[in-house]
Structure 1
Amino acid sequence: MQGKVSSKPNAAPVYVGVDVCKEWLDIHLHPLGRDLRLANGKAGLQALKRLLRGLQPASIVMEATGKFHRLAHRSLHESGFPVAIVDPYRARMFARACGHLAKTDRLDARFLAILSQMQQPAPTAPPDKLLETLGELINARCAAAADLAAHKNRLKATDSAFLRQQLGKLVIALQRHIESLDKEIAQRIAEDPELCRRVEILTSVPGVGAVTAHCLVIGLSELGHCNAKQAAMLAGLAPIANDSGARQGQRSISGGRKTPRNALYMAALSACRYNPDMKTFATRLKDNGKQAKVVLTAVMRKLVVLANTLLTQNRCWTPNPP
């Protein structure tokens, strides 16, 4: 029948690209060349799953969109479909490498499907619902902390009595808001024995406080299940090579997850003063002529590697490890 999609066993594998926004799912079926748009909700996902059951796709790829892809990702995964979540920057660079500069939702879905066929990214399981909820709380805390710092700076700079009064109220409100978020995060973590143990291990490291430990446990949940290089890459603290021919360019960090990295920055400042191992390490780098930010970045990387090691071994930090 004309327009009917073949689902015979000997048919070519089908790769699906899904471009997600708040309201819509733009879908491309490759190599069938078929495009469709469905609502990003339960009804649209039911229609999509009915279509995919007949196709038995080899892979489904969608971009990470903060929160808009979560419902589709979890629903498709629970129905047994292989779903891979990729970095939007990686998808955009792939489209450019294919010679296409234009960007539309329909084109994005098409190139996600082609990326699925050519690179075959591994399926990604959706995060645990508790971790997902804690991630939202951590992001809210980070946003509130940024607002608090901005209001404090404005409070110091203003000469207006009215503005000082208004900004003072906002500062107090934000401080209470952050305290409430910290309490809620700590309470939810305390209800989970595994998360509670991971936080206990991380806070045993001098320089790592509760806020940093929460950011690492939630934002870098892979810690304890990866190697040192992978941990550094996830945090965006691995030096990236920049060589060409005879030139050896300066290494620099790039990418990674911003929230855990920001938390590690504050922890590194403290560790350089109060952690004897990190203090010795930082002093040695300074004596070798390394710049202050290079030293601090190296301490951050050492901290995340140490955290990964302790979580892998399920033990707390000791001055002289066994």
Structure 2
Amino acid sequence: MNTVSSEQVIGIDVSRDWLDIYCLPDRKRLRLPNTSEGHAHVVSLARRRGALVCFEATGGQEWRLWASLDAARIVARQLPPAQVKAFAASRGTRAKTDRIDAELIARFMVFRPEAGRRHPTGKLRAIRASTSKRAQLVEMRKRLLVQIKAHEKLATAGMFTDMDVELKALLDTRISELEERIEQAVAADGTLAETARILRSIPGVGPVASTMLIAEMPELGAISGEQAAALTGLAPIAHDSGALRGKRTIAGGRRALRHVHFQAALVAANHNPTLKAFAQRLRDAGKPHKVIITAVARKLVNIANALCKARKPWGLQGA
């Protein structure tokens, strides 16, 4: 990996057609096409400067650039848009232009040099793509079941029964196929298989939650509990101003991971002896259900992180 200067940062706002670039510390700006030629120019620029390159997650538009940077051994980070947006708000920035965004991305990286995720390995990319597709199909099935239930109350209820049954069966099959593909990919890698075994030893963490943690949080076991909670969007955020003290809320993080983690927390609150007792103490204190499950989810990810760091399963760690 190339040597990176702590003062040299290149922030890039990535769109479908363009790369809007802001360089620190000299505040240089330029616009390049989001093409192979543009990517090569960014690689050359970063190499000359010894700079760290950073950009927001944009739903996939940044992946070709990211792959080019990784192939050239340029240090690059993908940043959560919610964190950059919060940073912009803290600076009083409200305008929305590409040039401003590129500067904010670069300055956020200077402010939070540990933020963002590195380019995942090819195997992790494949697992992440499969877990994302599975989540999409599960959401489609959920919506279909809601529609079926709503149609049952209509006079035309029976008109589409065969079609609905066929569509649900197809979704069930595809989801099962993806789950099998994910299982095989994890099992084929010794380190990932061991991590999955550790995670699944925790009462409440099943195959879906464990593979989602592996795919979406490869940092697990190498970070602090506070960082793990922040990455899943489970760290409480204060809303205080002057003498006012607002409620603590959760936000940001990796949304798909947080959603699955909440499902695991619901199971753990009833079947994990440690977390069941913890949840009961919160109930006895009069805490609302959502607050309890959020606290359980936060504690669950901290346990998962600690066990992965120790490389020991639940029972052997005395968790």
> What range is the shorter-chain TM-score in?
0.7 to 0.9
Partner of 1:109: 102
User: Comparing 132-141 with 279-288, which one deviates more in the overlay?
Assistant: 279-288
Deviations 1:29-88 (A, max 9, x none): 45666544333232322233345545x254433222232212212322442434343332
Matched, 1:205 2:205: no
Q: 1:318 aligns with which of 309, 315, 318?
A: 315
- Report the equivalent of 1:299: 296
TM superposition score normalised by structure 2: 0.85
Question: Taking structure 1 as reference, are residues 319 and 35 closer, same or farther at Cα in structure 2, changes over 3 Å only?
Answer: closer
Partner residue, 1:238: 235
Q: Secondary structure at the match of 2:13?
A: strand
For the pair 1:274 / 2:271, whether they are aligned, the reply is: yes
Paired position in structure 2 for 1:45: 39
Instruction: Find the aligned partners of 1:96 and 1:242 in 2 and give their Cα distance.
Output: 13
SS at match of 1:108: helix
If the length of structure 1 is used for normalisation, what is the TM-score?
0.84
Q: 1:155·1:168 contact (CA, 8 Å) conserved in 2?
A: no
User: Which whole-Å deviations, capped at 9, do the CAs of 1:240-271 have from their partners, x for residues lacking one?
Assistant: 23344454432222222222221122222222
Aligned pair in 2 of structure 1 residues 248, 128: CA closer, same or farther (>3 Å)? same
Does 2:251 correspond to 1:254? yes
Q: Is the 8 A contact 1:84 1:121 kept in 2?
A: no
**Does the aligned pair in 2 maintain the 1:189–1:196 contact within 8 Å?**
yes
Structure 2: how far apart are the matches of 1:249 and 1:99? 20
In structure 2, do the counterparts of structure 1 residues 108 and 156 end up closer, same or farther at CA, with 3 Å as the change threshold? same
The question of whether the paired residues in 2 share the 8 Å contact of 1:19 and 1:62 is answered with: yes
Does the Cα contact within 8 Å between 1:59 and 1:120 map onto a contact in 2? no
Alignment correspondent of 1:121: 113
1:152 aligned residue = 145
State the shift of 1:176 in Å.
Answer: 0.6
Correspondences of 1:50-61 after superposition (within 5 Å): 50-54=44-48, 56=49, 58-61=51-54
**Alpha carbons 2:16, 2:34 under 8 Å: kept:** yes
* Helix, strand or coil at the partner of 1:146: helix
Task: Name which one, 1 or 2, has greater alpha-carbon Rg.
Answer: 1
SS of the equivalent of 1:85 reads strand
Q: In structure 2, what is the equivalent of residue 25 of structure 1?
A: 19
Answer yes or no: is 1:309 the counterpart of 2:303: no
1:138–1:215 Cα contact (<8 Å) kept: yes
**Which range moves more in the overlay, 208-217 or 240-249?**
240-249
The 2-side partners of 1:27 and 1:139 are apart by: 29
Cα distance between partner residues in 2 of 1:214 and 1:294: 25
Give the direction of change, closer, same or farther, for the CA distance of 1:69–1:303 in structure 2 (3 Å limit). Answer: same
Distance 1:313 1:30, change over 3 A: closer
Shift of 1:316: 1.4
**Counterpart Cα distance in 1 of 2:232 and 2:107:** 29
Q: Tell me the C-alpha RMSD between the 2 structures.
A: 2.7
Q: Deviations over 1:219-254 (max 9, x none)?
A: 122221112222222112222233444544322222
Q: Distance in 1 between matches of 2:47 and 2:173?
A: 50
Equivalent residue number for residue 74 of structure 2: 81
- Measure, in 2, the Cα distance between the counterparts of 1:221 and 1:234: 11
For residues 242 and 53 of structure 1, the distance between their equivalents in structure 2, rounded to whole angstroms, comes to: 41
* Deviates further, 45-54 or 144-153: 45-54
Q: Find the aligned partners of 1:302 and 1:33 in 2 and give their Cα distance.
A: 42
What CA distance in whole angstroms lies between the structure 2 residues aligned with 1:295 and 1:115? 32
**Gap change, CA 1:201 and 1:51, over 3 Å in 2:** closer
**Residue aligned with 2:78, SS:** strand
